[in-house]
Structure 1
Amino acid sequence: MNKSWQTAKYLFFDFFAAALAWASFFVYRKEIIEPQYFNGWDVPFELTTQFYLGLIFIPAFWITFYYIVGFYNNIYRRSRLLELGQTFATSVVGVVIIFFAFLLDDWIGSYKNYYNSIFTLFSLHFGLTYLFRLVLTTQTVHKIHKRKIGFNTLIIGSNEKALKVYNEMSSQVRPAGNKFVGFIELDKNSDSVLSEQLPMLGHIKDIINILDKENIEEVILALETKEHDQLSEILTIIENRQITIWGIPDLYDLLSGMTKTNTIFGSPLIKISNGLMPGWQANVKRLLDVVFSCIALILFFPVFIVLAVIIKTSSKGPIIYKQQRVGRYGKPFNIYKLRSMVADAENGSPALSSENDARITGIGRYLRKTHLDEIPQFFNVIMGTMSLVGPRPEREFFIKQILERAPHYAHLHKLRPGITSWGQVKYGYASNVDEMLERLTYDMMYLKNISLYIDFKILIYTVMVSVKGNGK
């Protein structure tokens, strides 16, 4: 599977459909609507500058809109029925926006022409867009049903329940696309009835290596009742990765109506969502991250130059300090800061700073109180390794110590780390592991309540702390 190529096909046909719809609508306006304004006079038809600009900017608007609502997420897992509803809804909203932005000043014979224009534009855009999408999605669905496309799937569990799920999903007339690569055991001494069907890849302690080595995209939790006490431990390990997790509902779940599924022909699996925000909010958050970071880099450029000169002339060492941190899904990345300590402050041994740390330079204390040392991290945000708001990233050396005392810390790796965070606003820089654990409470609260609203509040408080210069 080539997800980038599949996404590119949807992008191309969405752009083409929007351009074709706009061109057809332009002809409709010139040939049908405008002559009514001129009482039937023969109005010469010409392709104006407005027409050519519309062929570029109108499709670009639609592509941006689709990205924001999350249409291009999970591009192979598409439902034609859900796609119909989503295309209809986005077409309605988008056409209304275009109408009020570009069509209100049209030459019209009566107000009824407005209704005709909206209906015609909607019909053209919705019809052409969904037609191309239906063809693409149908092709993909048929390839999945013919097992030409599959998603590497791991079963966690090895007893009767796991065997039943495997047999049901392997014998489906319309398979869901799961390509079973193997299973892992929870207990080394268990009776693995599934071993006759699939290779045993290891045990629960090996799960991280197995997920990476086998490029696992989906996990099915097929646990027996006696194994449910290990569920929290398993989810802690795999929920912070880009993996779709499925579970087998208990009888209580079915009777209480707590289960949700979107498959008719497959096994009654429930999706254990690792999505923390609605798709449109997650995309808006990323879009705002990039836009605000670009603006911030432009605004702070003069400040950056002044601080760079002071740092360089006041102490030996580089202006920009680089350090490896652990980011989203546990992947390491390099974080960038304006140097606030003397060069080689750690001498190869990880050490946190304290309020009266002698290693902090004179300008460094000011940078830390105002958080101006974080300016280079806007580059991290643009590159996608960080966000404006999110839990502060830590080094692996300290993460191991935190996990020993608070295993749930691993859940924070579901998120992009942030330049600022709820815990950062409350506590500032942590000078020891105990303070990291205190800050963890607020980062977990952010994880459970994440929203654009919360992000804006944290950003406002961060600005207030920076302006007052009372940061730690």
Structure 2
Amino acid sequence: MFSRLQRFYTSIKVATDLLMLAVAFGLAYATRFIGVIPVTDGIPPLDETLVSLGMSLFIFPFTFHQSNLYTTNRSRTHIGELFAVFKASITATLILVALTYFTRERYSRLTLALFLGYALVLVSVTRLVLRLALAEVRRRGFNLKTILVIGEGELGRRVIETVRDHRELGFRVVGVLALDPERVGRRVRGAPVVGEVKDVERVLDEQPVDQVVIALPLEQQPVVKQLMEQLALRTVDVKVVPDLYQYITLYGGLEEFGGLPIISLQGDPMDGWSRVAKRAFDIVFSLVAIALTAPIMLVTALMVKLTSRGPILYNQERMGMDGETFHILKFRTMRTDAEVAGAQMASAGDTRRTPIGTFLRKYSVDELPQFFNVLVGDMSLVGPRPERPVFIEEFKRQIPRYHLRHKVKAGITGWAQINGLRGQTSIQKRIEYDLYYIENWSLLMDLKILVRTALGGFLSKNAY
């Protein structure tokens, strides 16, 4: 039944893609040659246009097929589907351009470029509509694949909850096999315990199952080995959920190293193009910020110099990305002898402040020179606020996962700061907000934080 449904759904995708590709080619032709763009070299002959259309209707579906866009992948996200369409379309267009160059005397490259644009939009939109429609069908209980979960512990319960919470993926748990014989006949998160782990072959013989998900703890590896030997003789799909959630700290997941699958327990949240994009974002916006705040910084420098003895700027050692230290720049708000007795945090009513220091700290004007830290690459506009190394060792001992905030560059402002966590507020709470930012980072989120900061996110009652 499922194979027939899958073939039917695949045929719909192929037919829809062909229709959208034909429409895209027609729109490209009309845009280029029917009055929208001036025609200077004449209109291509009809037979040449039909040949190019035929090649497009063959090359694109073939490339989509090679890119696994016609195979079942219920776990692929909408964004993942659209990105796969984008990559396959680019590849297909390059093949099409090469073939038309070598096999035809000429064909309008602008028409092919327009065709790519139209095809990307039309195919992506129809694919998204089909996915949403199929997700709704699955939510209503149709086109479901059955799952047998092996393991009634925390890992097994998590699998059942995930299936239940994502009905649009089209899975249904029909049974659980338990290690504890006393659990047989009971339910785990609503799913019936239909037998013990040793009964796996009997259960598979008694009822149709599309997938077996093994969710056993690490100490049961001998049982997993035996299960794999038994299931290797069957055609059922087998998935293994590794019992590593307790060890994954940040950006963990499955990676590949020279064809060898590796489970990463702790990774880099901003790598490759993400890091390049964030650095470009920092350079552009820090230059703009320096230009806009230059008059304010000039007036502030004069006020600092006129109201107290000592340097205008104060540089202090802070810890940034990967535990590297740098010197942060601030307008001086304390007396020059403020730390003769040793390092200590600022507090409300701090008597070490200069006459203008309270004002500068309250409105975060003392932070403005840090745009130069951003420009040279020591800091980022947005990120966890940097702490002094002298305090960090104590924080690392007291607060789990504290060190993970150093996986990214420190920032002038951050998610914790715009939510009022400044000064002597809860360090634990600040770390939670910092890690939330790191795990959910995007340029859009950075922009949102900067806008909220500009609109008063730093005007906190805890700023001193």
- Answer with 1 or 2: which has the greater Rg: 2
Tell me which interval the TM-score lies in, with the shorter structure as reference length. Answer: 0.3 to 0.5
Q: TM-score, length-normalised on structure 1?
A: 0.46
Which protein has greater RCO, CA pairs closer than 8 Å, 6+ apart?
1
